[in-house]
Amino acid sequence: MADNIAYQLDPGPLESSVLTEQITHRSRDIWDGSVNMILNTRRCDGKFWDLVKKYPIPPRVLEVIQLSGLYGVYRSHRPMIDRSLITSLVERWRPETHTFHFRTGEATITLQDVEVLYGLPVNGHPVLGNELIRTIGDWQNICQRLLGFTPCPQDFNHNSLKVSALNAHMLRQPQLTDMATQDMVNQKARCYMFWMIAGMMMADTSGSFLKLMYLPMLEDVNAIGSYSWGSATLACLYRFLCKSSQSNQNEIAGFLPLLQVYSITK
């Protein structure tokens, strides 16, 4: 008689009033047998690390980056991202609670983790970005004033700039001369910081474009450190964790080195 009783495992959750998105969560696909689901990790920092390896950042420029509070991102050097590890963490991420559900309990990345691991400021003015409608001509003028070069119209995609355009500009004059003015030093520093912010800390899934919305916030180099870059970085990562935890997603972006280092240190 016992042989006729079919026992079915319940994938959960046992209580559906909290974890309301299980039906579209990627863990449901795993339960259904979809095992080949390694996420693509979108990043556009490869050329950045190649550049600084071949041409180390000049000391005067590093001083500006240190003042901004972003030096910890540069100091961490180029990380090797483990796609399988990132995918396994996403599978355990719950967008309803913004926590990882492990066998030992719940855990999440906090502002303290961001501050301790990368030294990013977590207090100060909010990083809102500036997505005002601007023409290509407007962005060309802003790039010339803040970055020291004028990109071609084809280097823009709406409010984003090609990584290759910024990389080409920095390769044309990788080092500063002894006669460089402070304005030239600041422009060079903004190039590095803009790339770190838009291409690493808050990278999107394009893989080849940098959002220009953060660039106007770098105009006053003395005020850059007054922004809560750590909070914005964590919020961006949370957003991509929530998005990539859905069953129809195959990629993830954001500051993935933070996610990986967090998992190793915990």
Burial 14-44 (b: 16+ CB within 10 A, else e): eeeeebeeeeebbbebeeeeeeeeebbbbbb
Tokens of 212: 């220009």
Q: Along the 266 residues of the chain, how does pLDDT read in single tens digits?
A: 455 555 566 667 777 788 888 888 988 888 877 766 789 998 788 899 999 999 999 999 999 999 999 999 999 888 889 999 999 999 999 999 999 999 889 999 999 999 999 999 999 999 987 667 889 999 999 999 999 999 999 999 989 999 999 999 999 988 898 899 999 999 999 999 999 999 999 999 988 999 999 999 999 999 999 999 999 999 999 999 999 999 888 999 999 999 999 998 87
Return phi, psi of residue 115, to 5°. -70, -40
| Helix or strand run (H / E) with residue 114 | helix 111-118
This prediction has a pTM of 0.91
